[in-house]
Amino acid sequence: MNLYNQIFSNNQQWVNNKKATEKEFFEHLSKGQSPEILYIGCSDSRVTAEEMTGVQPGQMFVHRNIANLVPNNDNSSASVIEYAVSHLKVKHIVVCGHYSCGGVKAAMQAEDLGILNPWLRNIRDVYRMHKDELNSIKDETEKYNRLVEINVEEQCLNVIKTACVQRQYLNNGFPTVHGWVFDIHTGNLIDLKIDFNEKLKGIQEIYDLGTSQK
């Protein structure tokens, strides 16, 4: 049996297992969702958000794209953030990158990748802003790993810049924004320990959208 057809067999086994351990699981699932976390991650097939975090259905709202980007002109990620923050009232927003990210590596190659060019340019811009630090790293793998980390940090800043996040946080004290990296070689999640309050204060002079009490 090929993989595509195997999926339906896997699904039926999953349904049977769920019903055997929790009879009303799907009845509860159909009533709605109230996730605590918005997860923004990479589309890489090796990085499965729910499996590596161990969360259950309904606990985490998920958005994935190439290289876990949050560009300021991307309606897809913007809509996800707006819905998660303003309607689902998530308490945490996580941007999660991963080492050995093909999108990050592709962005640093001298190659025309067609329609991918404008998307990957966002990563090139991150490199440009941090090129002194990155160019000082001689080991190529270490350089790419550091770019993965810096890209996560910059995307966290892009999340913080959005009006709905600023409004909700200033008025209600949540959500907070976190940056993670998944080490694909060990399976470990690494918290970059981004100081959300400090980052918010640092950008308010320029990116303050006057959202408090609105």
Report, as residue numbers or ranges, the catalytic residues.
Answer: 42, 44, 46, 98, 101
Question: Rounded to a whole number, what is the distance in angstroms from the first to the last CA of the chain?
Answer: 56
Pairwise CA distance, residues 77 & 131, whole Å? 26
Q: Which amino acid is at 51?
A: E
For 10, how many CA atoms within 13 A lie in the half-sphere containing its CB? 7
Cis check: omega of the bond before 175, within 30 degrees of 0: yes
CA distances from 98 to 24, 64, 103, 109 (A): 36, 12, 10, 18
Cα pseudo-dihedral 132, 65, 39, 204, rounded to 10: 50
Q: Which residues pair with 7 in a beta bridge?
A: none
Look at residues 10, 68, 54 and name the one whose alpha carbon lies nearest to residue 187.
Answer: 54
